[in-house]
Amino acid sequence: MKKSLGPKAIVYPTPVFVIGSYDNFGKPNLMTASWGGICCSHPPSITVSLRKNRLTYSSILERKAFTVNIPSEIHVNESDFFGITSGKETDKFAAAKLTPIKAQHVDAPFVKEFPLVLECRLTQTVEIGVHTQFIGEIIDTKAETSVLNEKGIPDIKKVRPFLFAPEGRGYYSIGRFIGLAFSIGKRFMCWLFNHVFLNLNSLFIVIGMLTLPLQT
Ligand SMILES: Cc1cc2nc3c(=O)[nH]c(=O)nc-3n(C[C@H](O)[C@H](O)[C@H](O)COP(=O)(O)O)c2cc1C
């Protein structure tokens, strides 16, 4: 039995992104954002939704650029800090003792110490309600070589990202591997095939039996 909880923004999992941008004075700033995710494959694009009172909101509009920094578990305290203080009052990079690096392709800073960084160019904004959705085209992805696997792509076990569960306000580490996507579901395709095939077979037998008098 299910109980109705009303319209709530609960979904599992939500990411912990750390958004990098420059403010009006060129000061690098960071903010935590969990309302976001990949929103297009070609052009590769990502979305984050921000309230208008965030410093990051005006910074992104001004420079038409931002970075999405993926923190590892070891930076959970810093990541939380970026979500509870505003760059309007605090130099968050300095307070957290992290290093801002100017992005190569867009006018925004990224966090040197974080393993994975997306450099994004603002392409669209969508007014939704209290949040405005920012859509950024991913111009480049930078990964620490230490988190790459033998094929040269980031390995989630090495990146060690963590998740945010909004209802209880908890941070969680990722769990164990449970299956290969676009693959483990194929067993049901076989079932479907057998099912359709067997049903068609039965249908032909019935048709054959019914039309037997006509055939002889
Ligand atoms: C886990 C977590 C997730 C957050 N997600 C968002 C979000 O998606 N959008 C948003 O506008 N604020 C979000 N916040 C709040 C901002 O990070 C916070 O208001 C921050 O101080 C804004 O920084 P700024 O003023 O320097 O831009 C989140 C905070 C935390 C702790």
Q: What pLDDT is attached to residue 206?
A: 67
- Domain map (residue ranges) of the chain: 14-173
Hey, which of 31, 57, 76, 85 would you mutate to test ligand 1's pocket, going by the most ligand atoms within 8 Å of its Cβ? 31
pLDDT in tens, 169-207: 999 999 999 999 999 999 999 766 666 666 666 677 667
Residues 66 and 122 sit within 8 Å (Cβ to Cβ): yes
Residue nearest to atom 6 of ligand 1 (CA): 33
Q: With a 6 A CB cut-off, is 83 part of the ligand 1 pocket?
A: yes
Strand runs labelled E in the chain: 14-15, 17-22, 28-33, 36-40, 45-51, 65-70, 100-102, 109-111, 116-127, 131-143, 162-165, 170-173
pLDDT in tens, 8-35: 999 998 999 999 999 999 999 999 999 9
Q: With a 6 A CB cut-off, is 137 part of the ligand 1 pocket?
A: no
- Give the nearest ligand 1 atom to 53 CA: 25
User: What's 14-173's CATH class?
Assistant: mainly beta
Three-class SS state of 82: helix
Residue nearest to atom 13 of ligand 1 (CA): 33
Q: Give the Cα separation of 164 and 15 in Å (integer).
A: 6
Q: Give the Cα separation of 144 and 154 in Å (integer).
A: 8
Residue nearest to atom 17 of ligand 1 (CA): 83
Hey, which of 18, 27, 54 would you mutate to test ligand 1's pocket, going by the most ligand atoms within 8 Å of its Cβ? 54
Q: How far is the CA of 1 from the centre of ligand 1 (A)?
A: 35
- Per DSSP, the residues of 71-110 read --GGGHHHHHHHTTS-TTT--HHHHHT--EEE-SSSSSEE
The 8-class DSSP code of residue 180 comes to -
Residue type, position 25, single letter: F
Q: How far is the CA of 171 from the centre of ligand 1 (A)?
A: 14
Output the six-digit token pair for 171: 């941070």
Specify the pTM.
0.90
Query: What percent of the chain has pLDDT above 70?
Result: 89
pLDDT in tens, 146-174: 999 999 999 999 999 999 999 999 999 99
